[in-house]
Structure 1
Amino acid sequence: MKSIQRLLWFGVAGVTGLAVDMGTLMILHESMGAYGARIASFLTAATATWLINRRLTFTGRSAGVGIWGEYVRYLGLMLGGGVVNLTVYSLLAWKFSQTPLWLNIYVCAGSLAGMAINYLGTNQWLYRHKGSQESDSIFSR
């Protein structure tokens, strides 16, 4: 798959993850607060993007490990972008309004800030192997 196509699919996965992120945040905001709900929404979104990226974005490339190793490595990589993401979100939520609309805007700002780090990590490190990997299921390649 060409780099431009891969980047576009990564963007599709990111937008889908953003929708999952914001939906989860809105559902959990009242019960968990702005910060607890944000951590839960981030983990849910990261799982959704992993499923899309492993199936569509990096098809034909392999992490070179089993499915659960791939998932753990993916989450680890997402933490790099996630630290940037959550830092931007937290600074904005600390400084400005915490209404649901503004919280979603802060999620968008954080997501954009972390996207470049996440793409570089997945493209250059996790899915660097050519060829398909044997699947253990979970929306196999």
Structure 2
Amino acid sequence: MRNHRFVRFAKVGAVGFIVDISVFSLLVYWLGLPTMLARVLSFVVAATTTWLGNRVYTFKSSARHFAQWKRFFISACLSMLPNLLVFKGILLCLGENYVTHALAFVCGVGAGLIGNYLLSSRWVFK
């Protein structure tokens, strides 16, 4: 059961990743926002998207919406720390361009994935 739930969590995360990188790209390449500001803003949008997907699809939760969203956002912020550290570290080492942004995104999201799942399954949607 837990393995199946992790697969659903990963599917929701894939949708969140698409939202995240799309919003980031819009903010950086079209609106000219600074990279790290755009990264944090895109993360907030993606975190809200994944909360809704995980609430409905992964964990099928019926808990109070706002209280659960607050727990999820705290969890997401804790998971965001390794994500942003890896993201920024790669950009500091390799510079900034389309390719390094994409590489930093993938590696950053991977760094935060396990912690996010554990916090979500054991605290947010318990």
Same fold by TM-score greater than 0.5 = yes
In structure 2, the residue matched to 1:25 is 24
Deviations 1:42-92 (A, max 9, x none): 111111111100000001x45x5x211111110100111101101100111
Q: Which runs of 4+ in 1 moved over 4 A?
A: none
Deviations 1:103-130 (A, max 9, x none): 02101100001000000001011211xx
Higher helix share: 2
Structure 1 vs Structure 2 CA RMSD: 1.2
Relative to the length of structure 1, the TM-score reads 0.83
Are 1:67 and 2:65 matched, yes or no?
Answer: yes
Paired letter, 2:44: L
Query: Which runs of 5 or more residues in structure 1 are unaligned?
Result: 129-141
Q: How many residues align?
A: 124
Query: Which runs of 5 or more residues in structure 2 are unaligned?
Result: none
Distance in 2 (alpha carbons) for counterparts of 1:108 and 1:50? 20
Relative to the length of structure 2, the TM-score reads 0.93
Q: Quote the sequence identity (%).
A: 27
Which deviates further from its counterpart, 116-125 or 98-107?
98-107
Larger radius of gyration: 1
The correspondence of residues 7-86 of structure 1 with structure 2, limited to 5 A, is 7-30=6-29, 31-59=32-60, 61=61, 64=63, 66-86=64-84
